[in-house]
Amino acid sequence: MQKFKTFFSQFRARDFVMLTLAGIINATGVTVFLAPLRLFDSGLSGTAYLFNQLTPDWLGLWFFLIVLNLPFYLFGLRKMGAKFVCCSLYAIGIYSLFSFLYQSVFPIDWSAGSPIVQEDKLLAAIFGGLISGIGSGMTIRYGGAIDGVEVMAVMFAKKIGMTVGTFIMAYNILLYSVSAVIFKSWDIPLYSVLAYAVGLKAVDFIVDGLDKGKAAWIVSSEHEKIAAELSKELIRGITVLEATGYYSGENRKILYVVVNRFEIAKLKSIVKNIDHKAFVAIYEISDTMGVNVRFKQNNYDTADRGGIASKLKGLFVPKRHVKAADETVAEPIGAPSDATLIPPPDVCAAAQSEFVQAAQEPSAQRADETQNMQNNDTDTKKE
């Protein structure tokens, strides 16, 4: 019983809501746009449509979607994990259900081809690929995969000496070639390739988002000036790492900072203005987790004057913890243990000033109390 509770605790209601929406969107793209014009989706979804065209009408698209996908997810259960398989099968179930509803239940007139774009194959390929790609991307984002060809690739690609991406591409090329031979027309697979390309971009957009992060490594003898300026202008956390040049044998400091694509030009300008000889390497990162690299300014607890830790509260989000007043603030989660995190200079200066002022106040208060006691003693002796 405890195992079942632990297993089901992994799932969230929001995930299933989004997977339901993903299945409906994917069914709309394939069934409403692609299938009426005999255009093929990629992977097992396209294979299901091919079988649907070659078999009696009572064997609908929904039937082949289930029959083709289910075995691969069951075989891949141990490698992919139970949660992934459950989310995937749920999304495929919704996809199959709405494919059936679109084709057999909803009052839709298919006589003119697609009810949206009629016989226009170009529009059908673009929008069918876009919509089905959005559905596939949402499925991946929320823990599953709506096409079993990915599972097939993971299971068999290495055994035949291919990468997963090459396996999927080879499968789709074979699918489109077979469809061209069967239907004796090359315009169908060519439009299908267009739909596949649009769908891939849609998947990337949904999974990775528009604002992908960029990581920058900066090697410079002026690292302190560059770090201070980047921290001030970009309001970003910066990690300082120790490094040694292989050829020169010199010890250097490397700055590591994560920014978005809109900040790259500003970062380059700052580095170039301070040290035009600095070496900068910038690369794209698809995702980040743990600490939010932007600082939260003006988020101090003004009522608490206990020390610098409380003055810097909220500077890094999330924090492991905020230490006592006489200790330093914890580094953000994910920062290297030997790294130095540099907060904005104006924030540090303000916090340090308040800290000194707060530390001096008890001393001044004790001095006033001592003076009052001495005055009272003098008055008593006079009496």
Same domain, 79 and 35: yes
Same domain, 237 and 200: no
Same domain, 72 and 149: yes
What percent of the chain clears pLDDT 90, i.e. is strictly above it? 33
Q: Is 312 within the bounds of a domain?
A: no
Same domain, 143 and 162: yes
Which ranges of the chain does DSSP label H, i.e. alpha helix? 2-8, 13-27, 43-54, 61-75, 77-80, 82-100, 121-141, 149-156, 164-183, 187-208, 223-234, 264-274, 308-311, 345-382
Mean local confidence (pLDDT), 16-45: 92
Same domain, 111 and 231: no
Q: Is 56 within the bounds of a domain?
A: yes
Q: Is the pLDDT of residue 161 over 90?
A: no
State which H helix or E strand residue 217 sits in: strand 213-219
Q: Is 371 within the bounds of a domain?
A: no
- The CATH number assigned to the domain holding 230 equals 3.30.70.120
Confidence band of 236 (pLDDT split at 50, 70, 90): confident
Q: Which of 175-179, 330-334, 377-381 has the highest mean predicted lDDT (pLDDT)?
A: 175-179
Q: Is the pLDDT of residue 144 over 90?
A: no
- Cα–Cα nearest to 148, from 202, 68, 64, 239: 68
Q: Is the pLDDT of residue 330 over 50?
A: no
Domain boundary among the residues 288, 320, 348 is at 288
| More confident of the two residues 338 and 222 | 222
- Give whole-number Cα distances, 346 to 232, 239, 258, 313, 354, in Å: 8, 18, 21, 15, 12
Q: Phi, psi (5° rounding) for residue 196?
A: -65, -40
Measured distance CA(323)–CA(346) in Å, rounded: 22
Domain boundary among the residues 288, 317, 335 is at 288
Q: Is the pLDDT of residue 372 over 70?
A: no
Same domain, 138 and 232: no
Q: Is 341 within the bounds of a domain?
A: no
What percent of the chain clears pLDDT 70, i.e. is strictly above it? 73
Count Cβ neighbours within 10 Å for each residue of 364-382 and write b for 16 or more, e otherwise: eeeeeeeeeeeeeeeeeee
Measured distance CA(317)–CA(319) in Å, rounded: 5
Measured distance CA(256)–CA(218) in Å, rounded: 7
Which residues neighbour 374 within 8 Å (Cβ) at sequence distance 6 or greater? none
Confidence band of 145 (pLDDT split at 50, 70, 90): confident
**Cis link prior to 362 (omega < 30° from 0)?**
no
Mean local confidence (pLDDT), 129-137: 93
Q: Is the pLDDT of residue 368 over 60?
A: no
Measured distance CA(56)–CA(289) in Å, rounded: 50
What pLDDT was estimated at residue 310?
38
Same domain, 39 and 188: yes
- Cα–Cα nearest to 139, from 69, 61, 218, 193: 69
Same domain, 54 and 165: yes
Amino acid identity of residue 108, one-letter, is I
Measured distance CA(259)–CA(234) in Å, rounded: 8
Each residue's pLDDT tens digit, 61-95 = 889 999 999 888 888 787 778 888 899 999 999 99
Q: Is 278 within the bounds of a domain?
A: yes
What pLDDT was estimated at residue 342?
47
Q: Which two tokens stand for residue 382?
A: 């006079």
Q: Is 340 within the bounds of a domain?
A: no
CA angle (339 as vertex; 302, 346 as ends), nearest 5: 35
Count of the separate structural domains present in the chain? 2
Q: Is 355 within the bounds of a domain?
A: no
Q: Is the pLDDT of residue 235 over 90?
A: no
Same domain, 107 and 223: no
Instruction: Specify the 3-state DSSP secondary structure of 242.
Output: strand
Each residue's pLDDT tens digit, 278-323 = 999 998 887 777 655 454 444 433 334 333 333 333 333 333 333 3
The pTM of the full predicted model, rounded to 2 decimals, is 0.64
Measured distance CA(32)–CA(156) in Å, rounded: 32
Q: Which two tokens stand for residue 138?
A: 């949402």
- Cα–Cα nearest to 318, from 344, 343, 337, 290: 290
* 152 neighbors 80 (Cβ within 8 angstroms): no
Measured distance CA(33)–CA(127) in Å, rounded: 7
Same domain, 88 and 36: yes
Same domain, 170 and 253: no
Number of other residues whose CB lies within 10 A of the CB of residue 274: 18
What pLDDT was estimated at residue 313?
37
| More confident of the two residues 169 and 274 | 274
Measured distance CA(314)–CA(330) in Å, rounded: 11
- Domain span at residue 243 reads 213-288
What pLDDT was estimated at residue 381?
44
Domain boundary among the residues 208, 228, 259 is at 208
Q: Is 61 within the bounds of a domain?
A: yes
Q: What is the mean pLDDT of the chain?
A: 77
What pLDDT was estimated at residue 75?
82
Which residues neighbour 93 within 8 Å (Cβ) at sequence distance 6 or greater? 23, 66
Each residue's pLDDT tens digit, 253-269 = 999 999 887 789 999 99
Q: Is the pLDDT of residue 34 over 80?
A: yes
Same domain, 183 and 153: yes
User: Left if phi > 0, otherwise alpha if psi is -120 to 50, otherwise beta: which for 150?
Assistant: alpha
